[in-house]
Amino acid sequence: MELFDYVVLGASHAGLEALRAIRAHDADGSIAVLDREARLPVSPTVLPYVVSGKCAADRVALRERSWFDTQRVDYRQQAAAAALDTANSRLRLADGREISYGKLLLATGAAPALPPIEGLSDVSFHVLRTLDDALALRDVASKAGRSAGRAVVLGAGLVGMHAAENLVRAGAGVTIVEMRGQVLPGYFDPLAAARIEAVFRDKGVEVLTGRRVKQVAPRDEGCTVLLDDGEARDADLLLAAAGVRPEVSYLAGSGVAVERGIVVDEFMRTVADNVWAAGDVVQTRSFFADGTPAGGILPDAVEQGRTAGMSMAGDPGVRPYPGGVSLNTYGFFGRRALSVGRDAPEQAGSEWDVLVRGGEGADGYLKLVLREGRLQGIFGVDVLFDPGIMWELILRRVEIGARRDALLENPQDTARALMSGLWR
Protein backbone atom coordinates (compact mmCIF):
# COMPACT_ATOMS: atom_id res chain seq x y z
CA MET A 1 0.00 0.00 0.00
CA GLU A 2 1.22 3.49 -0.81
CA LEU A 3 2.15 5.79 2.07
CA PHE A 4 2.44 9.59 1.95
CA ASP A 5 3.53 11.96 4.73
CA TYR A 6 0.65 14.23 3.77
CA VAL A 7 -2.56 13.49 1.91
CA VAL A 8 -4.78 16.41 0.85
CA LEU A 9 -8.28 15.41 -0.18
CA GLY A 10 -9.88 18.00 -2.47
CA ALA A 11 -7.89 20.20 -4.88
CA SER A 12 -9.74 23.49 -4.63
CA HIS A 13 -9.20 26.68 -2.62
CA ALA A 14 -8.74 25.13 0.82
CA GLY A 15 -6.69 22.14 -0.35
CA LEU A 16 -4.40 24.13 -2.64
CA GLU A 17 -3.67 26.77 0.00
CA ALA A 18 -2.90 24.06 2.54
CA LEU A 19 -0.57 22.46 0.04
CA ARG A 20 1.30 25.75 -0.44
CA ALA A 21 1.64 26.19 3.34
CA ILE A 22 2.89 22.62 3.83
CA ARG A 23 5.52 22.96 1.10
CA ALA A 24 6.65 26.34 2.46
CA HIS A 25 7.71 24.65 5.69
CA ASP A 26 8.45 21.07 4.65
CA ALA A 27 10.42 20.88 1.42
CA ASP A 28 10.89 17.11 1.48
CA GLY A 29 7.77 15.42 2.86
CA SER A 30 5.85 13.32 0.35
CA ILE A 31 2.48 14.81 -0.57
CA ALA A 32 -0.47 13.38 -2.50
CA VAL A 33 -3.43 15.52 -3.57
CA LEU A 34 -6.51 13.52 -4.46
CA ASP A 35 -9.58 14.88 -6.21
CA ARG A 36 -12.65 13.10 -7.52
CA GLU A 37 -12.88 15.25 -10.67
CA ALA A 38 -11.39 14.16 -14.00
CA ARG A 39 -10.63 17.82 -14.79
CA LEU A 40 -7.99 20.21 -13.46
CA PRO A 41 -9.09 22.16 -10.35
CA VAL A 42 -11.65 24.88 -10.99
CA SER A 43 -13.00 27.52 -8.61
CA PRO A 44 -16.78 27.29 -8.23
CA THR A 45 -16.83 31.12 -8.27
CA VAL A 46 -16.05 31.15 -11.98
CA LEU A 47 -18.93 28.85 -12.93
CA PRO A 48 -21.59 31.56 -13.51
CA TYR A 49 -19.24 33.08 -16.08
CA VAL A 50 -18.82 29.72 -17.79
CA VAL A 51 -22.61 29.53 -18.00
CA SER A 52 -22.78 33.01 -19.58
CA GLY A 53 -19.91 32.21 -21.96
CA LYS A 54 -17.77 35.05 -20.54
CA CYS A 55 -15.14 32.49 -19.46
CA ALA A 56 -14.02 29.69 -21.75
CA ALA A 57 -14.19 26.33 -20.01
CA ASP A 58 -10.65 25.38 -21.08
CA ARG A 59 -9.15 28.53 -19.49
CA VAL A 60 -10.48 28.39 -15.95
CA ALA A 61 -8.12 25.93 -14.22
CA LEU A 62 -6.84 27.12 -10.83
CA ARG A 63 -3.56 25.24 -11.43
CA GLU A 64 -2.00 23.44 -14.38
CA ARG A 65 -0.62 19.94 -13.91
CA SER A 66 2.92 21.28 -14.27
CA TRP A 67 2.43 23.35 -11.10
CA PHE A 68 1.94 20.17 -9.07
CA ASP A 69 5.10 18.74 -10.61
CA THR A 70 7.15 21.78 -9.62
CA GLN A 71 5.81 21.42 -6.06
CA ARG A 72 6.76 17.72 -6.15
CA VAL A 73 3.22 16.76 -5.36
CA ASP A 74 1.57 13.57 -6.57
CA TYR A 75 -1.69 14.98 -8.00
CA ARG A 76 -4.35 12.40 -8.79
CA GLN A 77 -7.60 13.03 -10.59
CA GLN A 78 -10.63 10.72 -10.47
CA ALA A 79 -9.52 9.70 -6.99
CA ALA A 80 -12.70 10.01 -4.92
CA ALA A 81 -12.50 9.05 -1.27
CA ALA A 82 -15.07 6.41 -0.31
CA ALA A 83 -14.17 5.63 3.31
CA LEU A 84 -11.79 6.75 6.03
CA ASP A 85 -10.21 4.41 8.61
CA THR A 86 -8.74 6.77 11.19
CA ALA A 87 -7.59 3.95 13.50
CA ASN A 88 -5.19 2.70 10.81
CA SER A 89 -4.59 6.05 9.04
CA ARG A 90 -5.95 4.76 5.75
CA LEU A 91 -8.14 6.22 3.06
CA ARG A 92 -10.11 3.94 0.74
CA LEU A 93 -10.87 5.27 -2.73
CA ALA A 94 -13.99 4.62 -4.79
CA ASP A 95 -12.02 2.27 -7.08
CA GLY A 96 -11.00 0.13 -4.09
CA ARG A 97 -7.38 1.30 -3.79
CA GLU A 98 -6.12 2.24 -0.34
CA ILE A 99 -3.67 4.96 0.64
CA SER A 100 -1.95 5.42 4.00
CA TYR A 101 -1.27 8.87 5.39
CA GLY A 102 0.88 10.42 8.06
CA LYS A 103 -1.32 13.50 8.14
CA LEU A 104 -4.57 14.02 6.28
CA LEU A 105 -6.49 17.14 5.27
CA LEU A 106 -10.19 16.87 4.42
CA ALA A 107 -11.00 19.71 2.00
CA THR A 108 -13.88 18.21 0.06
CA GLY A 109 -16.05 21.33 0.07
CA ALA A 110 -19.80 21.33 -0.26
CA ALA A 111 -22.47 19.98 -2.56
CA PRO A 112 -25.84 21.46 -3.54
CA ALA A 113 -28.53 20.73 -0.94
CA LEU A 114 -31.74 19.61 -2.59
CA PRO A 115 -34.91 21.10 -1.11
CA PRO A 116 -37.58 18.61 0.03
CA ILE A 117 -39.97 19.18 -2.87
CA GLU A 118 -42.49 16.55 -3.90
CA GLY A 119 -41.70 15.14 -7.33
CA LEU A 120 -38.19 16.64 -7.63
CA SER A 121 -36.63 13.25 -8.28
CA ASP A 122 -39.09 12.65 -11.17
CA VAL A 123 -38.08 15.69 -13.22
CA SER A 124 -34.87 16.80 -14.82
CA PHE A 125 -33.23 19.71 -13.00
CA HIS A 126 -29.84 21.42 -12.77
CA VAL A 127 -27.46 22.41 -9.98
CA LEU A 128 -24.28 24.51 -10.15
CA ARG A 129 -21.16 23.34 -8.33
CA THR A 130 -18.82 21.70 -10.85
CA LEU A 131 -17.58 22.58 -14.31
CA ASP A 132 -19.73 19.78 -15.74
CA ASP A 133 -22.78 21.33 -14.06
CA ALA A 134 -21.90 24.71 -15.62
CA LEU A 135 -21.42 23.24 -19.10
CA ALA A 136 -24.71 21.37 -18.91
CA LEU A 137 -26.48 24.52 -17.73
CA ARG A 138 -24.83 26.63 -20.43
CA ASP A 139 -26.07 24.30 -23.15
CA VAL A 140 -29.62 24.09 -21.89
CA ALA A 141 -29.71 27.86 -21.12
CA SER A 142 -28.74 28.80 -24.64
CA LYS A 143 -31.37 26.37 -25.94
CA ALA A 144 -33.99 27.90 -23.63
CA GLY A 145 -32.82 31.37 -24.71
CA ARG A 146 -33.06 30.55 -28.44
CA SER A 147 -36.57 29.23 -28.02
CA ALA A 148 -37.50 32.04 -25.57
CA GLY A 149 -38.20 29.34 -22.99
CA ARG A 150 -38.78 29.84 -19.28
CA ALA A 151 -36.37 29.01 -16.49
CA VAL A 152 -37.38 28.65 -12.86
CA VAL A 153 -34.65 29.19 -10.27
CA LEU A 154 -35.22 27.82 -6.76
CA GLY A 155 -33.43 30.06 -4.27
CA ALA A 156 -32.31 33.71 -4.39
CA GLY A 157 -28.89 33.27 -2.81
CA LEU A 158 -25.72 34.22 -4.68
CA VAL A 159 -25.72 31.10 -6.86
CA GLY A 160 -29.39 31.48 -7.81
CA MET A 161 -29.07 35.21 -8.55
CA HIS A 162 -25.91 34.77 -10.64
CA ALA A 163 -27.53 31.96 -12.60
CA ALA A 164 -30.77 33.93 -13.09
CA GLU A 165 -28.85 36.85 -14.55
CA ASN A 166 -27.00 34.61 -16.97
CA LEU A 167 -30.21 32.93 -18.04
CA VAL A 168 -31.73 36.36 -18.77
CA ARG A 169 -28.64 37.28 -20.77
CA ALA A 170 -29.05 34.06 -22.73
CA GLY A 171 -32.58 35.16 -23.66
CA ALA A 172 -34.69 33.00 -21.37
CA GLY A 173 -37.66 34.25 -19.34
CA VAL A 174 -36.77 33.75 -15.67
CA THR A 175 -38.74 33.26 -12.46
CA ILE A 176 -36.92 33.20 -9.12
CA VAL A 177 -38.70 31.61 -6.16
CA GLU A 178 -37.35 32.39 -2.68
CA MET A 179 -39.02 31.24 0.52
CA ARG A 180 -37.60 34.09 2.61
CA GLY A 181 -39.07 37.58 2.31
CA GLN A 182 -36.24 39.07 0.20
CA VAL A 183 -33.54 38.17 -2.29
CA LEU A 184 -30.00 37.49 -0.99
CA PRO A 185 -31.08 36.91 2.62
CA GLY A 186 -28.10 36.68 4.95
CA TYR A 187 -26.03 38.94 2.69
CA PHE A 188 -28.06 42.16 2.54
CA ASP A 189 -30.75 43.86 4.60
CA PRO A 190 -34.24 44.29 3.10
CA LEU A 191 -33.49 47.83 1.82
CA ALA A 192 -30.36 46.82 -0.07
CA ALA A 193 -32.04 43.65 -1.31
CA ALA A 194 -35.01 45.66 -2.61
CA ARG A 195 -32.64 47.75 -4.75
CA ILE A 196 -31.05 44.64 -6.23
CA GLU A 197 -34.45 43.04 -6.77
CA ALA A 198 -35.68 46.16 -8.59
CA VAL A 199 -32.83 45.83 -11.10
CA PHE A 200 -33.79 42.21 -11.76
CA ARG A 201 -37.44 43.16 -12.22
CA ASP A 202 -36.41 45.91 -14.67
CA LYS A 203 -34.65 43.23 -16.68
CA GLY A 204 -37.88 41.26 -16.86
CA VAL A 205 -37.20 38.73 -14.11
CA GLU A 206 -40.19 37.58 -12.10
CA VAL A 207 -39.11 37.55 -8.44
CA LEU A 208 -41.40 35.66 -6.08
CA THR A 209 -40.26 36.10 -2.48
CA GLY A 210 -41.95 34.68 0.60
CA ARG A 211 -43.14 31.70 -1.46
CA ARG A 212 -42.23 28.06 -1.57
CA VAL A 213 -42.28 25.49 -4.31
CA LYS A 214 -44.57 22.74 -3.11
CA GLN A 215 -44.41 20.27 -5.94
CA VAL A 216 -42.93 19.73 -9.39
CA ALA A 217 -44.31 17.47 -12.10
CA PRO A 218 -42.94 16.41 -15.51
CA ARG A 219 -44.26 18.27 -18.58
CA ASP A 220 -43.02 17.73 -22.17
CA GLU A 221 -39.23 18.26 -21.92
CA GLY A 222 -39.53 20.39 -18.78
CA CYS A 223 -41.74 20.52 -15.73
CA THR A 224 -44.59 22.35 -14.04
CA VAL A 225 -43.71 24.09 -10.78
CA LEU A 226 -46.53 24.38 -8.24
CA LEU A 227 -46.22 27.10 -5.58
CA ASP A 228 -47.61 27.03 -2.06
CA ASP A 229 -50.21 29.72 -2.91
CA GLY A 230 -51.69 27.51 -5.63
CA GLU A 231 -50.07 29.34 -8.57
CA ALA A 232 -48.03 27.36 -11.12
CA ARG A 233 -45.27 28.08 -13.65
CA ASP A 234 -44.21 25.95 -16.59
CA ALA A 235 -40.44 25.58 -16.80
CA ASP A 236 -38.24 24.44 -19.68
CA LEU A 237 -35.32 24.60 -17.27
CA LEU A 238 -35.31 24.12 -13.50
CA LEU A 239 -32.30 25.12 -11.38
CA ALA A 240 -32.09 24.10 -7.71
CA ALA A 241 -29.94 26.68 -5.89
CA ALA A 242 -31.33 26.35 -2.39
CA GLY A 243 -28.11 26.12 -0.38
CA VAL A 244 -25.33 23.62 0.20
CA ARG A 245 -24.41 20.75 2.49
CA PRO A 246 -20.89 19.62 3.45
CA GLU A 247 -19.43 16.84 1.28
CA VAL A 248 -18.86 14.22 4.00
CA SER A 249 -20.38 11.02 2.60
CA TYR A 250 -17.04 9.18 2.94
CA LEU A 251 -16.83 9.87 6.69
CA ALA A 252 -19.50 7.42 7.88
CA GLY A 253 -18.05 5.33 10.71
CA SER A 254 -14.72 7.21 10.67
CA GLY A 255 -15.11 8.81 14.09
CA VAL A 256 -14.62 12.29 12.61
CA ALA A 257 -17.27 14.47 14.28
CA VAL A 258 -19.73 16.15 11.90
CA GLU A 259 -22.46 18.60 12.90
CA ARG A 260 -23.37 21.36 10.40
CA GLY A 261 -19.96 20.47 8.91
CA ILE A 262 -16.80 18.77 10.18
CA VAL A 263 -16.08 19.94 13.72
CA VAL A 264 -12.60 21.48 14.06
CA ASP A 265 -10.59 23.44 16.63
CA GLU A 266 -8.81 26.76 16.02
CA PHE A 267 -5.96 24.97 14.21
CA MET A 268 -8.44 23.13 11.98
CA ARG A 269 -7.79 19.80 13.73
CA THR A 270 -10.68 17.34 13.74
CA VAL A 271 -11.31 15.08 16.73
CA ALA A 272 -9.41 12.26 14.96
CA ASP A 273 -5.62 12.03 15.37
CA ASN A 274 -3.64 13.42 12.43
CA VAL A 275 -6.74 14.53 10.55
CA TRP A 276 -7.40 18.21 9.73
CA ALA A 277 -10.26 19.79 7.76
CA ALA A 278 -10.70 23.17 6.05
CA GLY A 279 -13.02 25.10 3.74
CA ASP A 280 -16.71 24.66 2.99
CA VAL A 281 -16.67 21.15 4.46
CA VAL A 282 -16.14 22.40 8.04
CA GLN A 283 -18.48 23.93 10.54
CA THR A 284 -16.90 27.38 10.58
CA ARG A 285 -16.67 29.18 13.87
CA SER A 286 -17.88 32.74 13.74
CA PHE A 287 -15.50 35.57 14.52
CA PHE A 288 -18.32 37.20 16.47
CA ALA A 289 -19.02 35.99 19.99
CA ASP A 290 -22.75 35.62 19.29
CA GLY A 291 -22.01 32.91 16.75
CA THR A 292 -23.42 34.80 13.73
CA PRO A 293 -23.13 32.13 11.03
CA ALA A 294 -20.20 32.46 8.68
CA GLY A 295 -18.38 30.29 6.20
CA GLY A 296 -19.11 29.00 2.74
CA ILE A 297 -16.98 31.69 1.13
CA LEU A 298 -13.68 31.63 -0.69
CA PRO A 299 -11.58 33.86 1.63
CA ASP A 300 -12.49 31.66 4.59
CA ALA A 301 -11.57 28.50 2.70
CA VAL A 302 -8.16 30.00 1.87
CA GLU A 303 -7.53 31.23 5.42
CA GLN A 304 -8.53 27.89 6.91
CA GLY A 305 -6.47 25.99 4.35
CA ARG A 306 -3.41 28.04 5.27
CA THR A 307 -3.95 27.47 9.00
CA ALA A 308 -4.44 23.74 8.46
CA GLY A 309 -1.38 23.39 6.22
CA MET A 310 0.87 25.30 8.63
CA SER A 311 -0.43 23.25 11.54
CA MET A 312 0.07 19.96 9.67
CA ALA A 313 3.65 20.85 8.77
CA GLY A 314 4.43 22.00 12.31
CA ASP A 315 5.17 25.55 11.17
CA PRO A 316 5.84 27.57 14.36
CA GLY A 317 4.37 30.66 12.66
CA VAL A 318 0.86 29.18 12.66
CA ARG A 319 -1.77 31.36 14.32
CA PRO A 320 -5.19 30.21 15.47
CA TYR A 321 -7.97 30.74 12.96
CA PRO A 322 -9.84 33.80 14.29
CA GLY A 323 -13.29 32.69 13.08
CA GLY A 324 -15.12 33.64 9.92
CA VAL A 325 -16.28 37.10 8.90
CA SER A 326 -18.42 36.99 5.79
CA LEU A 327 -17.26 38.93 2.76
CA ASN A 328 -19.08 39.02 -0.56
CA THR A 329 -18.61 41.02 -3.71
CA TYR A 330 -21.65 40.69 -5.90
CA GLY A 331 -21.77 42.05 -9.44
CA PHE A 332 -25.14 42.11 -11.20
CA PHE A 333 -26.07 43.62 -14.57
CA GLY A 334 -23.01 45.88 -14.48
CA ARG A 335 -23.78 47.10 -10.93
CA ARG A 336 -22.01 46.17 -7.72
CA ALA A 337 -23.08 45.25 -4.20
CA LEU A 338 -20.71 44.58 -1.33
CA SER A 339 -21.42 42.87 1.96
CA VAL A 340 -18.86 42.46 4.76
CA GLY A 341 -19.47 41.30 8.32
CA ARG A 342 -22.76 41.14 10.19
CA ASP A 343 -25.88 43.25 10.55
CA ALA A 344 -27.25 44.44 13.92
CA PRO A 345 -29.72 42.13 15.68
CA GLU A 346 -33.40 43.06 15.56
CA GLN A 347 -33.43 43.96 19.27
CA ALA A 348 -30.17 45.95 19.24
CA GLY A 349 -29.15 47.53 22.56
CA SER A 350 -27.55 50.97 22.98
CA GLU A 351 -24.06 49.59 22.30
CA TRP A 352 -25.07 49.23 18.64
CA ASP A 353 -24.87 52.08 16.17
CA VAL A 354 -26.39 51.78 12.69
CA LEU A 355 -25.77 54.50 10.10
CA VAL A 356 -27.42 54.56 6.68
CA ARG A 357 -26.77 56.76 3.67
CA GLY A 358 -28.95 56.79 0.57
CA GLY A 359 -32.62 56.16 1.15
CA GLU A 360 -35.18 55.39 -1.49
CA GLY A 361 -34.41 57.02 -4.85
CA ALA A 362 -30.83 58.00 -3.93
CA ASP A 363 -28.01 56.85 -6.19
CA GLY A 364 -26.29 54.46 -3.84
CA TYR A 365 -27.01 52.73 -0.54
CA LEU A 366 -24.51 52.34 2.27
CA LYS A 367 -25.03 50.95 5.76
CA LEU A 368 -22.50 50.84 8.59
CA VAL A 369 -23.00 48.71 11.68
CA LEU A 370 -20.88 49.44 14.75
CA ARG A 371 -20.84 47.92 18.20
CA GLU A 372 -19.05 49.72 21.01
CA GLY A 373 -17.34 51.94 18.43
CA ARG A 374 -15.99 49.04 16.36
CA LEU A 375 -17.07 48.06 12.88
CA GLN A 376 -19.23 44.91 12.69
CA GLY A 377 -20.54 45.18 9.15
CA ILE A 378 -20.67 47.35 6.06
CA PHE A 379 -23.11 46.87 3.20
CA GLY A 380 -23.28 48.84 -0.03
CA VAL A 381 -25.17 48.85 -3.31
CA ASP A 382 -23.65 51.04 -6.02
CA VAL A 383 -21.21 52.52 -3.48
CA LEU A 384 -17.66 51.43 -4.06
CA PHE A 385 -15.17 50.48 -1.37
CA ASP A 386 -12.53 47.83 -0.95
CA PRO A 387 -14.20 45.01 1.02
CA GLY A 388 -10.78 43.61 1.99
CA ILE A 389 -9.89 46.75 3.98
CA MET A 390 -13.26 46.66 5.76
CA TRP A 391 -12.65 43.00 6.53
CA GLU A 392 -9.35 43.95 8.14
CA LEU A 393 -10.97 46.75 10.16
CA ILE A 394 -13.43 44.21 11.58
CA LEU A 395 -10.89 41.44 12.23
CA ARG A 396 -8.45 43.85 13.89
CA ARG A 397 -11.23 45.38 15.98
CA VAL A 398 -10.12 48.87 14.95
CA GLU A 399 -11.69 51.67 17.00
CA ILE A 400 -13.80 53.76 14.58
CA GLY A 401 -15.30 56.10 17.18
CA ALA A 402 -15.06 59.71 16.00
CA ARG A 403 -14.49 58.67 12.35
CA ARG A 404 -17.91 57.06 12.02
CA ASP A 405 -19.48 59.92 10.01
CA ALA A 406 -16.41 60.18 7.79
CA LEU A 407 -16.56 56.43 7.17
CA LEU A 408 -20.18 56.75 6.09
CA GLU A 409 -19.45 59.73 3.86
CA ASN A 410 -16.25 58.45 2.28
CA PRO A 411 -15.75 54.77 3.17
CA GLN A 412 -12.76 54.06 1.01
CA ASP A 413 -10.45 56.93 2.00
CA THR A 414 -11.46 56.82 5.65
CA ALA A 415 -10.86 53.07 5.91
CA ARG A 416 -7.45 53.47 4.27
CA ALA A 417 -6.54 56.25 6.71
CA LEU A 418 -7.65 54.13 9.67
CA MET A 419 -5.59 51.17 8.47
CA SER A 420 -2.49 53.20 7.70
CA GLY A 421 -2.70 54.76 11.17
CA LEU A 422 -2.64 51.24 12.54
CA TRP A 423 0.34 50.10 10.46
CA ARG A 424 2.34 53.17 11.37
Which residues make up the interface to ligand FAD (CB under 6 A)? 9-15, 34-37, 41, 43-45, 47-48, 80-81, 107-110, 128-129, 158-159, 247, 250, 279-281, 296-299, 301, 328
Query: At closest approach, how far in Å is the CB of 250 from ligand FAD?
Result: 5
Query: At closest approach, how far in Å is the CB of 125 from ligand FAD?
Result: 16
d(Cα 130, Cα 195) in Å, to the nearest integer?
Answer: 30
**Contact by Cβ (8 Å): 302, 391:** no
Query: At closest approach, how far in Å is the CB of 391 from ligand FAD?
Result: 11
- The 10 Å Cβ neighbour count of residue 309 is 32
Sign of CA dihedral 279, 282, 287, 288: positive
- Angle between helix 387-395 and 411-423 (nearest 10): 50
Helices (H), 184-297: 190-202
In the 8-state DSSP scheme, what is residue 12? S
326 CB-side CA count, 13 A:
20
Q: Indicate the helix (H) or strand (E) that contains 318.
A: none
Please identify, using beta-carbon distances, which residue of 216 and 297 lies nearer to ligand FAD.
Answer: 297
In the 8-state DSSP scheme, what is residue 343? P
Please identify, using beta-carbon distances, which residue of 112 and 145 lies nearer to ligand FAD.
Answer: 112
Query: At closest approach, how far in Å is the CB of 304 from ligand FAD?
Result: 8
Please identify, using beta-carbon distances, which residue of 96 and 361 lies nearer to ligand FAD.
Answer: 96
Please identify, using beta-carbon distances, which residue of 129 and 374 lies nearer to ligand FAD.
Answer: 129
Please identify, using beta-carbon distances, which residue of 22 and 408 lies nearer to ligand FAD.
Answer: 22
d(Cα 143, Cα 236) in Å, to the nearest integer?
Answer: 9
Please identify, using beta-carbon distances, which residue of 213 and 297 lies nearer to ligand FAD.
Answer: 297
User: How distant, in Å, are the alpha carbons of 76, 155, 244, 296, 411 from that of 293?
Assistant: 34, 19, 14, 10, 25
Please identify, using beta-carbon distances, which residue of 128 and 318 lies nearer to ligand FAD.
Answer: 128
Cα 283 from chain centroid? 13
Query: At closest approach, how far in Å is the CB of 72 from ligand FAD?
Result: 21
- The 10 Å Cβ neighbour count of residue 312 is 29
Query: At closest approach, how far in Å is the CB of 141 from ligand FAD?
Result: 14
d(Cα 413, Cα 92) in Å, to the nearest integer?
Answer: 53
Query: At closest approach, how far in Å is the CB of 402 from ligand FAD?
Result: 32
Strand-pairing partners, residue 179, are none
Torsion angle defined by CA atoms of residues 109, 378, 50 and 241, in that order, rounded to the nearest 10 degrees? 60
Please identify, using beta-carbon distances, which residue of 13 and 195 lies nearer to ligand FAD.
Answer: 13
Query: At closest approach, how far in Å is the CB of 245 from ligand FAD?
Result: 11
Query: At closest approach, how far in Å is the CB of 64 from ligand FAD?
Result: 15
Please identify, using beta-carbon distances, which residue of 126 and 195 lies nearer to ligand FAD.
Answer: 126
Cα 141 from chain centroid? 23
